[in-house]
Each structure stands twice: as structure tokens, then as C-alpha cells.
């Protein structure tokens, strides 16, 4: 299992053991972490799993695809470290990953 720390907009932390191979979105939704909706189940079709990757983890989290970038462009309050959590696959190298959640997913 890989630890992922989800920090809600209000600062509440959720430390979740996520099965390697799952996405960061699945780790949140399957464990009822508030603030990540993941409407489309990970098809990169909805942009309701927007997260801010902690600066220390940005590189290890990888590079967004053009599809992800195009979706993110229209999300709200996008920052350089914005990602769609469904497009970040959890692996051993991401043990301890910290992501922060936006105020809402619309």
C-alpha cells in the first residue's frame, strides 16, 4: 500500500493507504474523502478530481497528457501544480504524496 495525504480546502487531512495501480482519484473516492468527486470514474472526461500536487511531489507525479491539460484549462482556480487526480497512478515512488483539494469541483 502507498500512503497518500489528501488535504481538504479547510485543512483537514486524510491519510489513506492506496493500492498501487489505483489513481489518486480512486484512492479518495473509494475511501469517501470529501472534495474529490471523480464523476467519470477516471476517464479524464469531467475534471471533478482537480487537485494541487504538493511542490515537493510535482515532478514525481509526472507530466499531464494533452487531454488532461485541455480539461484542466477550464477548471476553476487552476495553478501550475494543478492535476487531475484520476491521471496520477499511485506507485511506490509516490509513497507519502501530498495533494491539496480546491474549494469545489465545478
Partner 1 sequence: MLCKLSPTGAAGPSGKLLEQSEKSVSAPRNPVVVVGAGHAGGTVAALLRQYGLTEPITIVGEETIAPYQRPPLSKAWLKGEVDADDLMLKASDFYRENEIALKLGVRAVRIDRDAKRVHLNDGEEIAYDTLILATGSRARQLAIPGVALDGVQALRSIADAEQLKSKLGKGKRLAVVGGGYIGLEAAASARALGAEAVVVELQDRVLARVACEALSTFLQNYHRARGVIFELNASVAAFEGEAGRVTGVRLADGRLIDADIVLVGVGAIPNDDLARNAGIPCRDGVIVDGDARTSDPSIFAIGDVTQRPLAVYDRMHRLESVANVLEQAKQAACAIAGRPTPPHEVTWNWSDQYDLKLQMAGVAFDTDEILIRGDPAAAGFAVFHLRGGRVQAVEAINAPPEFMMGRQLIAAQRPIARERLSNPAVSMKDVGA
Least gap, CB of 95 to partner 1 (angstroms):
18
Residues 6+ apart with CB under 8 A from 41: 86
The correct pick among 56, 67, 79, 93 for binding partner 1 (CB under 8 A) is 67
Q: Which positions from 4 through 23 interact with partner 1, judged by CB under 8 A?
A: 22
Using CB under 8 A as the binding rule, whether residue 95 contacts partner 1 is answered as no
* Residue 50, phi then psi, degrees to nearest 5: -65, 130
Q: Which positions from 26 through 55 interact with partner 1, judged by CB under 8 A?
A: 26, 29-32, 34, 37, 39-41, 43-47
Which set of grid coordinates corresponds to residue 44?
479524464
Amino acid at each position: 500500500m502507498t500512503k497518500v495525504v489528501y488535504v481538504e480546502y479547510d485543512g483537514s487531512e486524510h491519510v489513506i493507504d492506496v493500492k498501487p495501480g489505483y489513481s489518486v482519484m480512486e484512492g479518495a473516492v473509494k475511501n469517501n474523502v470529501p472534495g474529490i468527486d471523480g464523476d467519470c470514474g477516471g476517464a479524464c472526461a469531467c475534471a471533478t478530481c482537480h487537485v494541487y500536487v504538493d511542490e515537493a511531489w510535482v515532478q514525481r507525479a509526472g507530466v499531464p497528457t494533452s487531454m488532461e491539460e485541455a480539461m484542466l484549462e477550464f477548471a476553476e482556480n487552476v495553478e501550475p501544480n494543478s492535476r487531475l487526480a484520476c491521471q496520477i497512478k499511485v506507485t511506490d515512488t509516490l509513497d507519502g504524496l501530498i495533494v491539496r483539494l480546491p474549494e469545489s469541483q465545478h
